[in-house]
Amino acid sequence: MNAQIPYSTKSSDRSLFMIVALAIIAIIIVAIVSFIYPSTFIGFERINIESIGVIKIQGALADTQGFTILGSTTGVQQYINLIENAIKDPSIKAVLLYVNSPGGTVSASEKLFYEIEKLAYKKTVVAYVEGYGASGTYMVILPAKKIIVSESSLVGSVGVYSVIINYKGLLDKLGIQVYTFKSSKLKDIGSPYRNMTDQDKKIYGEIIQEFFSIFKERVLKYRTIIDQEVFTGRPYTSKQAKRVGLIDEIGTYDDAINITKKLAGLPEDAPIRVLEPPKPSLLDLLFRLYIKPKIRIVPSHEILAMWPPPVVEP
């Protein structure tokens, strides 16, 4: 008589374990993707609640993150990414730009200006300045439907300038000679190792005036300026800025939120979503321990513009 072989549960237990593991993995994937793409996910429709997106523009503007004589700078690409996300997101009906920035380089400011101009064409955009909204940053927020400023802010400083530090006198005292081989006499214009000629100064002046003309045209396109002193480069307090036409209102952050809701036709209880760049991964943080940010002490060859207004101590 043959003995019955008892039924083994190892195979069924293994299958059950695999099913549970796959289900957990699927739930994690759904959670991650739905967080990145909140509107829809593989057949599951999320209710789109009309909201205001807030993008914070803070610190000096530059093409890449690092340090200059302006201090620490913020790469504008992270702002551009947020703007692109706001444009694509159908639930965001308006964008409030929360601003506290003294300005930055010509190229970085211009890149961000064009992106905000594109955003303002598709959605309601309001700018709120708390602290600084000067120079390049002021140019950036010009396309906004309304510019609202806190009472203690400084705005304006419409203008451009470049700083070139010359080392020749110091090098001569130290007995150091620098040889520059160039294809033509103007190829090293702005070099810190030789004195500037009258022709060098003339060319730099023309460059600055060209950039300033572009800045001025944009101000006149978007604002009704009643005092030409605006174009002397001076910063303005909030009350002064309103008087000359640089801003629309003086108020608080809550005032700016309420004005944005009204302009966008949103209800008073419309939600506010602060749009932020993705947080760096552990790998990014470890990588940054070894890769230092680019530090620029002297701008020399780069035209730096739209500098911050003087800091006012309370």
Domain that residue 286 falls in: 47-295
Question: Could you tell me if 143 and 116 are in contact, meaning their C-beta atoms sit under 8 angstroms apart?
Answer: yes
Q: The CATH number of the domain where 129 resides is what?
A: 3.90.226.10
> Considering all CA atoms of the chain, what is the largest pairwise distance in Å, rounded to the nearest integer?
115
Rounded Cα gap, residues 123 and 117, in angstroms: 10
In a domain, 310, yes or no: no
In a domain, 57, yes or no: yes
159 φ, ψ (degrees, to nearest 5)? 170, 180
Residue 308 covered by a domain: no
- pLDDT above 90: residue 30: no
The catalytic residue positions are 135, 187
Confidence of residue 67 (pLDDT cuts 50, 70, 90): very low
Total domains, the chain: 1
Mean pLDDT of the chain: 80
Pairing of strands 294-295, 66-68: parallel
pLDDT digits (tens, 9 = 90+) for 90-112: 999 999 999 999 888 888 899 99
Per-residue buried b or exposed e for 18-41, using 16+ beta carbons within 10 Å of the residue's own CB: eeeeeeeeeeeeeeeeeeeeeeeb
In a domain, 82, yes or no: yes
CA–CA distance, 35 with 157 (Å, rounded to integer): 40
Please give the model's pTM, rounded to 2 decimal places.
0.75
Distance CA 269, CA 266 (A): 8
For residue range 127-156, what is the model confidence (pLDDT) as tens digits? 999 999 999 999 999 999 999 999 999 999
**CB-based contacts of 77, cutoff 8 Å, min separation 6:** 63, 64
Residue 313 maps to a domain: no
Best CA proximity match to 144, nearest among 167, 120, 173: 120
